[in-house]
Structure 1
């Protein structure tokens, strides 16, 4: 029977029933009719190797040239890489075609029109009957089913791929584009993906956005890159212009030139010349009366003589197209639709968020607009395959789960209450367990003129009052304050305030409060590296603008962070709210792996694991490891789990009999690998502590990077922003045909359209029901220690994410750049990362 097992993961138990039923719309569109033809799958190899947009051009030419002969009128669809699917058999098993297209991707500059070889080889015939059976829950996810889903994916994306700029599963149009800071602009796109759901295929359609370079005059673009006002500013010599930054930014981009009207070719920028158009010289051969003479000529003279163009900016460099051809900047224009592949800086990110942050009703309307562009009904490729797609958003059954009772200190006003609308405030409330802050110091990273001592003291007074009102004890109300240069030796400055704080009250300092001049990354990163890994003391950073006006609400938020950093507990759920934790000693794990930014192959990935340390699931300890770049599984999970299991035992006096493991940041393609290695690693950790120790494990992946969105149908089912109310759970219609997964929108959205978290249960010894896990996960979302609102995913996964991000700063010698939190010199080899000091290991230092 084992060969007939439907899934290596957990089959869905009965769907949940808890909560108030409501109907919502989801951005999924039903496939009313699946292709009824046998689909033929071919493998495509193009030589020389070129990027997908060029492959698509080659494919178009292939259809024009061979459509009526070798293809016998069939209209196959192609993904721009390796896969081609046809509704008819192409009558050959393997054939190589010579395709001639006029492209500037030249394998050799001597051949102006390259010939590409396109080898098309049959690999499979797909009968979609097996896909039908999979959707009905009668067949496992075989290779045949996977290829069938892939074929549908490529079929719906083929036509937009021919007409628009495509990136991954989205296509982008310049309609309604908006400029971003610098030389970029943001384009709106539409994402589509074929998803198997209960009993049918659905198409998930959503909006997306990405940054492109602005098109037009290259000179104007360079002015924007350098953040100057006009092209005339490019003539200045002091302070010198950063031409290497310009070259880095524009290298590899495609341009057209205006001095050769006939040639509508595009050229690729190779680099900038070191010399100006006036000083860039080349040898020119001229033949007169049968005699050939060679003379030196500058680019400026050549353009004047050959094209009668007098350069306005002869002192600027030229661009090299190909290895040797130099062209003045002022005759070049950037081609439209070139994507910007790097991370955006802070200002660009803020502009991007403004553009993408759409309230639910606006988002739903834009998705409908996307369907109009997609025009499935008149898509000739869909017709050839016999596929029909509904144009109505799916209506799905959801449930609003009841909110739990949240508890603060018994002396609070309203100590136990049920939150309404996913948010509450601290007025009249005291934290469940307040800590004592006896030994601390304040360091101001600026001068006394910008941040006068009396302003800082007034802020400290307000903070101390708020912390006391909120249930902390602060005997030392006027800690020592020192000023320090934000560009000086940060480590020495922090040691100095640590010393002063300790000397003042003759006891080891518990906290260093750092007041920062800005939101820049380098200073913050260095403070965290030194306090976490060198001195071993909690630190609390505050931007100086908040000290000018000490707001109660702000001070209360800071107090929540300080209390947990010192080992306190802010809130918990009332007795009986978390039966899973009450029944047996249970540890909650959260794990995440953070990767270096795209293109960085030097810096390692960082794996984090957090574990709950009490029966309330309010306190956590963390473990961090550095591992090889871009490895998704947690390499050293066994050791990390052992550390936290021991810590749980030392804190609670009992071994956990149950482990509930929430894993962040894993895509569907990685489920198998993560399940096989990580569940084994947890079991190995348990056995290494005690040969007979075998707690029951439940392993759940939490995904936030997906495109499912929910829209309330009736106004009373939505909140003020038009989103569904917090506590919405969906486990029917749009979920997996038979595996145990559900969508949970646990938070109240502040801006835009809320994104639910997608929970996929991969392994479950505890045999939880749908209601058990959905209710437990939603209630946990009320326990995030940094704020008084429900959060969008369970705290263990959220904390693991914070830990992995913070540990990035624990590397010595990083050159953090101010504009992007992950850019740096690539010095961060694994050896330069330091461990967090043992003094901090038991408290939530990462908050």
Structure 2
């Protein structure tokens, strides 16, 4: 491989790493034991008028019934639902247009006039002929990934997806079934499904098969759905009528939903909800045969039906068609694409969280459902798939030695199973907290002063035991209205805290804090506290759930202490320099970058790009910067300016220029690798030369991916952890990785629940000459230095911190109204983004 230029990214520098204890793991990949040994024929298809992929598939299926034998020589082609058809045999034409008429809805003529059949034109044009020899050469590391190889892999992907997409609800590379659906709160339910993807690796193609789950609206009565959306107890609660707030919330949830009517027999026609009427059915008027009448009166006259819920608004469909909600039924199979609220998210996690062995068994169930061996499309193409997971070589990397303050017992230790505790230990560098206050958002009847005092005493004792210095052990406590003006409450608490110590501290950012006790987990209050603390007052805030204050637990207080210490500039734990020579030998900066996008369907909010950079040789102190950019843009628009800002901060902190840069980039998909490489590495380089003309540090750029479907299962029970997962530090860099590029999977954490998800690291650019062992071990060691907990984490900390910074920046919009987990759509355009105050920009306020 050494003499070939196979990729513009980084080629694997060696056959793979050797550090650690060698083990075998089962991975949820299944080998394609026989690739098609024929030329595959690729056709471009255009269907007019433009309709959804699901309707396109019905058109395609109908076309095969009508024209399959006469025009397509009995070929059994596969279709992606959009633009591509692949056939094992050549069609007897280069280009042809077919007229397809889908049958109309089967509706009794006496009930409603039959809807006209739907006519479509299907134009099929020869695109190319794929010889899989080029794919074989790529898999054997003999040639680069050419457009022909990409098309061949796409053809295999479409081949394995075609039949499930015809039988089930299809979303991307996954398909779902209502069998075994579980209801969530808010009128939605979780459907189980399976994900599958054709993946190239050295010498062979694999199918990555995993369980999947997504959320659909519950079918059936629209009124019952409304009850669940509004969180009412039962349908009788609707008799009170709807407030303007509830009507708006309901309209936002129902807009775009497909319904059918239940008052006209077996009518199969669907209607799309565009909005709700402002008036109830009893006073919503329309013209019928030159007579002005209400919806309720019309239904009584036309159908002899007296509405039970005339006080409910009507749904509006089409061009001013008003339908009472009680005669509407939600059609099954409509996906809920909006962001779930906090309760729904917790329920979803509970439903989808499965122990490793359960997940492995469900994946095997999926293999039975897919039944590759008897799939007539695969058989027609001559493709065969193994029915057992692949077993691959893996290694468990050794954990590093973690160091705390020399007075700790012990001061250094090697963690076991990815976690440790702080008993007998003191943080490496404890911050001093002299001026601080406590704000309780509630009343003394809800949480007494005695309870607050007891919790604060326990917190102080814990902080002092772990090495912080707290001269003021009697902070000012005040109560505040959680529904009042939060900014005024925090400003007042801040003033009282300063006055209590006689004068403002010299370094406000390092020695002042507001502890805020919150009545619940609601987002609006938390978001406003963070906005005010970060962008108005300029002091760190530490939020505490009220439930934890009534019976303060030592472990909880320890976790709070860890957060407070780093927010005030302290250092919790470090690794000795000889363990991380890449950081210690030369001035080196670690970057972590992420881009956070608005929720699906949100057309007004921007994307947020975040960048953090390490400021010391211990990788303990980071500084963050944020930029807003065009929504859904993945490339960081002002990366040059952001890197300049953090390089300047590094120089001002250390009086040295970094000679090496290691950049961990989160949130990039494979299809964006080339664009990110070209744009962002150039931006980093431009930032360096804009600061100092001859400044050219060596750069390594690594993409970090968590959104993938690779999972590992110990092949022997004694090689797993107590939960049945692979042990923390498990790394895989053979068998299921890229044929020749530098990538690896690292499961750096011990999962608390469910099946652990490894993180995929892919090196796009490397001037630092990393070996597989070098980058894998360095990354794993960093995962022990996440400041908020005493566990290894699943994501390398610079990328983790960048994610936290981007999430925090969402709260920095003045004028937002936070509902559940997201702001109201109507208010977004009126909100203003506020930057973090200068006092906080050099501390880890986002922790």
Please give the range of the TM-score, normalised by the shorter of the 2 chains.
over 0.9
> Contact 1:399–1:729 at 8 Å: present in 2 too?
yes
1:556-597 Cα deviation digits (max 9, x unpaired) = 111111111111100001341112122222111111111111
**Structure 1 residue 259: Cα displacement:** 3.5
Secondary structure of the equivalent of 2:578?
Answer: coil
In structure 2, the residue matched to 1:28 is 29
Query: Counterparts of 1:355-374 in structure 2 under 5 Å?
Result: 355-374=351-370
In structure 2, the residue matched to 1:642 is 644
> Contact 1:531–1:539 at 8 Å: present in 2 too?
yes
Alignment of 1:140 with 2:136, yes or no, is no
Q: Which one of the candidate residues 105, 112, 116 is aligned to 2:120?
A: 116
Alignment of 1:774 with 2:776, yes or no, is yes
Q: Which one of the candidate residues 327, 334, 341 is aligned to 1:331?
A: 327
> Contact 1:602–1:826 at 8 Å: present in 2 too?
no
> Contact 1:604–1:828 at 8 Å: present in 2 too?
no
In structure 1, the residue matched to 2:625 is 623
Alignment of 1:417 with 2:421, yes or no, is no
Query: Counterparts of 1:279-294 in structure 2 under 5 Å?
Result: none
**Structure 1 residue 434: Cα displacement:** 0.7
Secondary structure of the equivalent of 2:345?
Answer: helix
> Contact 1:566–1:843 at 8 Å: present in 2 too?
yes
**Alpha-carbon distance in structure 1 between the residues aligned to 2:386 and 2:579:** 42
**Alpha-carbon distance in structure 2 between the residues aligned to 1:477 and 1:379:** 72
**Structure 1 residue 828: Cα displacement:** 5.4
Q: Which one of the candidate residues 453, 463, 487 is aligned to 2:459?
A: 463
> Contact 2:216–2:333 at 8 Å: present in 1 too?
yes
**Structure 1 residue 5: Cα displacement:** 2.5
In structure 2, the residue matched to 1:550 is 552
Go from structure 1 to structure 2 and tell me whether the alpha carbon gap of 1:298 and 1:653 turns closer, same or farther (over 3 Å shift). closer
Go from structure 1 to structure 2 and tell me whether the alpha carbon gap of 1:272 and 1:414 turns closer, same or farther (over 3 Å shift). same
1:669-705 Cα deviation digits (max 9, x unpaired) = 1111111111111111111222221111110011000
In structure 1, the residue matched to 2:20 is 19
1:742-795 Cα deviation digits (max 9, x unpaired) = 000000000100000000000000111000000000010000000000000110
Query: Counterparts of 1:323-722 in structure 2 under 5 Å?
Result: 323-505=319-501, 506-508=503-505, 509=508, 510-722=512-724
**Alpha-carbon distance in structure 2 between the residues aligned to 1:482 and 1:283:** 60
**Alpha-carbon distance in structure 2 between the residues aligned to 1:610 and 1:180:** 37
**Residues 647-656 or 11-20, more deviating:** 647-656
1:360-416 Cα deviation digits (max 9, x unpaired) = 000001111111111111111111111111111110110000000000000001110
**Alpha-carbon distance in structure 2 between the residues aligned to 1:185 and 1:632:** 31
**Structure 1 residue 318: Cα displacement:** 3.9
> Contact 1:540–1:562 at 8 Å: present in 2 too?
yes
In structure 2, the residue matched to 1:288 is none
**Alpha-carbon distance in structure 2 between the residues aligned to 1:312 and 1:615:** 71
**Structure 1 residue 98: Cα displacement:** 1.4
> Contact 1:709–1:754 at 8 Å: present in 2 too?
yes
**Alpha-carbon distance in structure 1 between the residues aligned to 2:659 and 2:105:** 65
**Alpha-carbon distance in structure 2 between the residues aligned to 1:248 and 1:226:** 11
**Alpha-carbon distance in structure 2 between the residues aligned to 1:182 and 1:551:** 33
**Alpha-carbon distance in structure 2 between the residues aligned to 1:775 and 1:147:** 36
In structure 2, the residue matched to 1:291 is none
**Structure 1 residue 236: Cα displacement:** 2.5
> Contact 2:594–2:802 at 8 Å: present in 1 too?
yes
Go from structure 1 to structure 2 and tell me whether the alpha carbon gap of 1:498 and 1:222 turns closer, same or farther (over 3 Å shift). closer
The count of aligned residue pairs is 834
Go from structure 1 to structure 2 and tell me whether the alpha carbon gap of 1:270 and 1:685 turns closer, same or farther (over 3 Å shift). closer
**Alpha-carbon distance in structure 2 between the residues aligned to 1:295 and 1:784:** 71
Secondary structure of the equivalent of 2:810?
Answer: helix
1:512-571 Cα deviation digits (max 9, x unpaired) = 111122211122112212221222211111122211112111111111111111111000
**Alpha-carbon distance in structure 2 between the residues aligned to 1:245 and 1:468:** 48
**Structure 1 residue 620: Cα displacement:** 0.9
In structure 1, the residue matched to 2:270 is 266
Go from structure 1 to structure 2 and tell me whether the alpha carbon gap of 1:347 and 1:283 turns closer, same or farther (over 3 Å shift). same
Go from structure 1 to structure 2 and tell me whether the alpha carbon gap of 1:232 and 1:241 turns closer, same or farther (over 3 Å shift). farther
> Contact 1:104–1:266 at 8 Å: present in 2 too?
no
**Alpha-carbon distance in structure 2 between the residues aligned to 1:439 and 1:170:** 54
Secondary structure of the equivalent of 1:611?
Answer: strand
> Contact 2:817–2:823 at 8 Å: present in 1 too?
no
In structure 2, the residue matched to 1:6 is 6
**Alpha-carbon distance in structure 1 between the residues aligned to 2:700 and 2:241:** 65
In structure 2, the gaps of 5 or more residues are: 107-112
**Alpha-carbon distance in structure 1 between the residues aligned to 2:104 and 2:799:** 48
Go from structure 1 to structure 2 and tell me whether the alpha carbon gap of 1:620 and 1:202 turns closer, same or farther (over 3 Å shift). same
> Contact 1:603–1:826 at 8 Å: present in 2 too?
no
1:41-97 Cα deviation digits (max 9, x unpaired) = 111211111111111111111111111111111111111111111111112222221
**Structure 1 residue 474: Cα displacement:** 0.7
Secondary structure of the equivalent of 1:242?
Answer: helix
**Structure 1 residue 254: Cα displacement:** 2.5
**Alpha-carbon distance in structure 2 between the residues aligned to 1:787 and 1:587:** 23
Go from structure 1 to structure 2 and tell me whether the alpha carbon gap of 1:104 and 1:227 turns closer, same or farther (over 3 Å shift). farther
Secondary structure of the equivalent of 1:67?
Answer: helix
Alignment of 1:806 with 2:808, yes or no, is yes
Q: Which one of the candidate residues 175, 191, 197 is aligned to 2:195?
A: 191
In structure 1, the residue matched to 2:110 is none
Go from structure 1 to structure 2 and tell me whether the alpha carbon gap of 1:317 and 1:823 turns closer, same or farther (over 3 Å shift). closer
**Residues 447-456 or 177-186, more deviating:** 447-456
> Contact 1:422–1:748 at 8 Å: present in 2 too?
yes
> Contact 2:105–2:115 at 8 Å: present in 1 too?
no
Go from structure 1 to structure 2 and tell me whether the alpha carbon gap of 1:524 and 1:678 turns closer, same or farther (over 3 Å shift). same
Q: Which one of the candidate residues 220, 223, 229 is aligned to 2:224?
A: 220
**Alpha-carbon distance in structure 2 between the residues aligned to 1:558 and 1:371:** 45
**Structure 1 residue 487: Cα displacement:** 1.8
Go from structure 1 to structure 2 and tell me whether the alpha carbon gap of 1:480 and 1:284 turns closer, same or farther (over 3 Å shift). closer
**Residues 388-397 or 581-590, more deviating:** 581-590
In structure 2, the residue matched to 1:289 is none
In structure 2, the residue matched to 1:63 is 64
**Residues 567-576 or 268-277, more deviating:** 268-277
**Structure 1 residue 284: Cα displacement:** 5.7
**Structure 1 residue 302: Cα displacement:** 5.5
Go from structure 1 to structure 2 and tell me whether the alpha carbon gap of 1:823 and 1:35 turns closer, same or farther (over 3 Å shift). farther
**Residues 672-681 or 441-450, more deviating:** 441-450
**Alpha-carbon distance in structure 2 between the residues aligned to 1:424 and 1:482:** 36
**Structure 1 residue 29: Cα displacement:** 0.5
**Alpha-carbon distance in structure 2 between the residues aligned to 1:536 and 1:361:** 49
> Contact 1:77–1:85 at 8 Å: present in 2 too?
yes
**Residues 585-594 or 302-311, more deviating:** 302-311
**Alpha-carbon distance in structure 2 between the residues aligned to 1:142 and 1:531:** 52
**Alpha-carbon distance in structure 2 between the residues aligned to 1:134 and 1:696:** 30
> Contact 1:816–1:825 at 8 Å: present in 2 too?
no
> Contact 1:571–1:785 at 8 Å: present in 2 too?
yes
**Alpha-carbon distance in structure 2 between the residues aligned to 1:665 and 1:487:** 36
**Alpha-carbon distance in structure 2 between the residues aligned to 1:295 and 1:593:** 57
**Alpha-carbon distance in structure 2 between the residues aligned to 1:485 and 1:835:** 26
In structure 1, the residue matched to 2:839 is 839
**Structure 1 residue 603: Cα displacement:** 1.4
**Structure 1 residue 233: Cα displacement:** 3.0
| TM-score using structure 2 length | 0.95
In structure 2, the residue matched to 1:125 is 129
**Structure 1 residue 241: Cα displacement:** 8.3
**Alpha-carbon distance in structure 1 between the residues aligned to 2:320 and 2:640:** 56
**Alpha-carbon distance in structure 2 between the residues aligned to 1:440 and 1:780:** 32
Secondary structure of the equivalent of 2:701?
Answer: strand
